[in-house]
């Protein structure tokens, strides 16, 4: 086995690879950009070496710098992780030419499967079901429109060299196709250096299900069940689970056999994934093959009790697989969510910033794969994923319960994130029943998600009671209220209205409008996490205290409670129940990013919904539309400028 490997990646996947390498007694070398000098993967590796500036093109995509780092540190092999150079056949060839071992599939398999057009042709020859579409790339909009008419709308425009949702657009008709195709081509060019796209039929009521395969260099290939990846947003997976709550054993077996047949057709070795789109009648079609480790690999590892990274090492070291297909059986259920730095209340736009507080949960049936730490930053340069949280149990209900508990106890502060959105999805009845498609999030959350007060009066009362207790204990410690062993009365106001609360100092109970709530448990003042019971029921809530305002988060709900001691109740008119916007006639950046284009000029008359600018963030091109109409009075930023969230870009004036 290798004595030392280099990891050509960053963040959580680099940390994940280091974990297995350390368990196997393999030393690791981390590479990092200047932006990642204080990152977890750098601290955890045995050695580290800086390879360039923050932009990926100047660091993690510099094959020559990575190979030079491997040679200079005495590494024998390179693991690419996922993303970056993981599916770059030229990189594999360069690694092998340098006398190093690539921990992954061969260059030829990557080349064949990395091109969606070629892979589709090979899939047909291997007897794999494919989605109707163009035979090759389409170079102009008119040719694409003709092809789409023949295939039948809706159609999907897909980057030939794509992956990770980049360069993909859905067109419902010829008009939207003409708008979407240039955007898909621009994204493809920016992400992959290849703007070729092709057209295929878009399946309605689709589910996205993938088969995990593992092959050695001796011709042995097996599949380790499937992963359900249908819950997506903008073609990016958000929830993943194994096994699928939808698939029958018969369909699972058929998909697995087709995945193995395709892998054999290209002489595949290492870990890989064959992705399918599945219709409501379980008819399935090949989408693509990912010639790398997948982000969602932990759910397979938990259900099949296998370390996929370990087997990537062993296969690269020319070992044979010991597994027989008939002996591979799932055990239990695992569900993964991706915690992103993004703002669900603003259409899930990406966010950046410092993790002012960060504490991951732990316990039976909970796994966290992360590459961040408290005080670290989520930057504009890379994917905004904070961590992956996985719940595992004997049944799907067990996995959901553990995942929910993990989300409730996951403390993330300092930037916008999707923790409570994920918690809300987990609580949806359709999700609990396994009744969803790839359209689930778009249909259920068309305007995004904003955590609000619960409809459940009992839960609302508990949240209010904890808010009162937090403020009362703080005020007592600071001698802001009278001491002794008696009671203290408070006036509170929140979304649910106004109320009177009484805090019983000796018992820590709180009465709200006559309803008594007994509170017992521990409050972690650093993480501001309460874990205990309320009226005997297990309770986990997160608390934020700001002077006379206490913010309580319970599950997917949020309640902002304004509280004053009774002796100061004359000030309650200063306690606002809701916040109001600025109302300024400005068009602001909804996210941080690179302002690539301004589509209007001073004096232009625009209407609500008009395109006004293009912002590139996390390699995605985002079209900014006007929220209101008016005359463009002033352009406040220039193309090529790096902008912050909420930065004013265009000032409007009313029409004369």
Tell me the catalytic residues. 288
Q: In which element (H, E) is residue 520 found?
A: strand 519-524
Asked if residue 243 has a cis previous peptide bond (ω within 30° of 0), the answer is yes
Q: Where are the alpha helices (DSSP H) in 99-140?
A: 107-114, 116-125
Look at residues 37, 13, 40, 18 and name the one whose alpha carbon lies nearest to residue 29.
18
Q: In which element (H, E) is residue 539 found?
A: strand 537-546
Look at residues 83, 105, 103 and name the one whose alpha carbon lies nearest to residue 294.
83
CA 648, 653, 656: angle at the middle one, nearest 5?
A: 170
138: which DSSP letter? B
Look at residues 198, 221, 26 and name the one whose alpha carbon lies nearest to residue 105.
221
Look at residues 618, 69, 639 and name the one whose alpha carbon lies nearest to residue 385.
618
Contact 412, 338 (CB under 8 A): no
Q: Residue 342 phi/psi, 5° resolution? A: -160, 165
Contact 403, 299 (CB under 8 A): no
Q: What is the dihedral of CA 9, 13, 19, 22, to 10 degrees?
A: -20
The β-bridge partners of 44 are: none
Within 10 Å of residue 198's Cβ, how many Cβ atoms? 22
Helix H, strand E, coil C: the string for 223-280 is: EEEEEECCCEECCEECEEEECCCCCCHHHHHHHHHHHHHHHHHCCCCEEEEEEEEECC
Contact 623, 580 (CB under 8 A): no
Contact 289, 262 (CB under 8 A): yes
Look at residues 452, 548, 534, 541 and name the one whose alpha carbon lies nearest to residue 492.
548
C-alpha distance from residue 310 to each of 301, 316, 508 (Å): 11, 10, 51
Orientation of helix 63-73 relative to helix 89-97, angle to 10°: 30
- CA-CA distance, 528 to 523, in Å (whole number)? 7
The β-bridge partners of 157 are: 169, 199
Quote the tokens at residue 87: 């599916």
């Amino acid at each position: 086995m290798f004595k030392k490997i280099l990891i050509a990646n960053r963040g959580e996947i680099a940390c994940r690879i280091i974990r297995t390498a350390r368990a196997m007694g393999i030393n690791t070398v981390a590479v990092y950009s200047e932006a990642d000098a204080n990152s977890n993967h750098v601290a955890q590796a045995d050695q580290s070496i800086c390879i360039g500036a923050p932009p990926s093109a100047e660091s993690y995509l510099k094959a020559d710098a990575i190979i030079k780092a491997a040679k200079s540190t005495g590494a024998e092999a390179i693991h690419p992780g996922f993303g970056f150079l993981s599916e770059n056949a030229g990189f594999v060839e360069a690694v092998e030419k340098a006398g190093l071992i690539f921990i992954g599939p061969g260059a030829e398999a990557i080349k064949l499967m990395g091109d969606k057009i070629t892979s589709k042709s090979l899939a047909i020859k291997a007897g794999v079901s494919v989605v109707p579409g163009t035979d090759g790339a389409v170079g102009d909009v008119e040719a694409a429109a003709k092809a789409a008419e023949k295939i039948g709308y809706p159609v999907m425009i897909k980057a030939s060299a794509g992956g990770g949702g980049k360069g993909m657009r859905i067109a419902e008709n010829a008009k939207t196709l003409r708008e979407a195709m240039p955007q898909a081509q621009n994204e493809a060019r920016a992400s992959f250096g290849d703007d070729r796209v092709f057209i295929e039929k878009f399946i309605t009521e689709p589910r996205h299900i993938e088969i995990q395969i593992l092959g050695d260099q001796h011709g042995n290939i097996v599949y380790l069940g499937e992963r359900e990846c249908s819950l997506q947003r903008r073609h990016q997976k958000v929830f993943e689970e194994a096994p699928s709550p939808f698939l029958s054993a018969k369909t699972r077996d058929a998909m697995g056999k087709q995945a193995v047949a395709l892998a054999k057709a290209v002489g595949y070795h290492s870990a890989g994934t064959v992705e399918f789109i599945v219709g409501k009648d379980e008819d399935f079609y090949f989408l693509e093959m990912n010639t790398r480790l997948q982000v969602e690999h932990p759910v397979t590892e938990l259900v099949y009790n296998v370390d996929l990274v370990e087997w990537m090492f062993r296969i690269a070291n020319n070992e044979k697989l010991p597994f027989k297909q008939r002996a591979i059986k799932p055990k239990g259920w695992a569900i993964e969510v991706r915690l992103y730095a993004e703002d669900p209340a603003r259409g899930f736009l990406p966010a950046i910033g410092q993790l002012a507080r960060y504490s991951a949960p732990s316990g039976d049936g909970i796994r966290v794969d992360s590459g961040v730490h408290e005080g670290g930053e989520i930057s504009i340069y890379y994917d905004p994923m904070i961590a992956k949280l996985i719940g595992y149990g004997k049944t799907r209900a067990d996995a959901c319960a553990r995942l929910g508990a993990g989300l409730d106890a996951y403390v993330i502060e300092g930037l916008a994130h999707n923790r409570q959105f994920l918690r809300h999805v987990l609580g949806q009845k359709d999700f609990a029943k396994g009744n969803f498609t790839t359209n689930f999030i778009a249909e259920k959350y068309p305007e995004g998600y904003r955590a609000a007060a619960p409809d459940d009066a009992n839960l609302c009362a508990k949240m209010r009671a904890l808010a009162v207790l937090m403020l009362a204990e703080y005020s007592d410690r600071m001698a802001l209220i009278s001491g002794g062993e008696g009671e203290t009365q408070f006036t509170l106001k929140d979304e649910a209205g106004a109320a009177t609360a009484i805090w019983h100092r000796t018992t820590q109970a709180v009465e709200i409008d006559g309803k008594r709530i007994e509170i017992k448990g521990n409050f972690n003042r650093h993480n501001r996490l309460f874990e205990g019971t309320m009226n005997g029921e297990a309770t986990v809530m997160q608390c934020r205290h700001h002077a006379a305002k206490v913010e309580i988060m319970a599950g997917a709900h949020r309640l902002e409670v304004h509280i004053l001691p009774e002796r100061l109740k004359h000030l309650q008119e200063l306690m606002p129940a809701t916040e109001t916007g600025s109302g300024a006639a400005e068009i602001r950046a909804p996210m941080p990013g690179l302002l690539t284009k301004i589509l209007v000029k001073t004096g232009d008359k625009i209407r609500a919904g008009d395109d006004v600018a293009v912002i590139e963030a996390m390699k995605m091109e985002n079209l900014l539309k006007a929220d209101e109409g008016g005359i463009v009075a002033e352009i406040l930023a220039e193309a090529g400028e790096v902008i912050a969230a909420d930065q004013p870009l265009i000032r409007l004036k009313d029409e004369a």
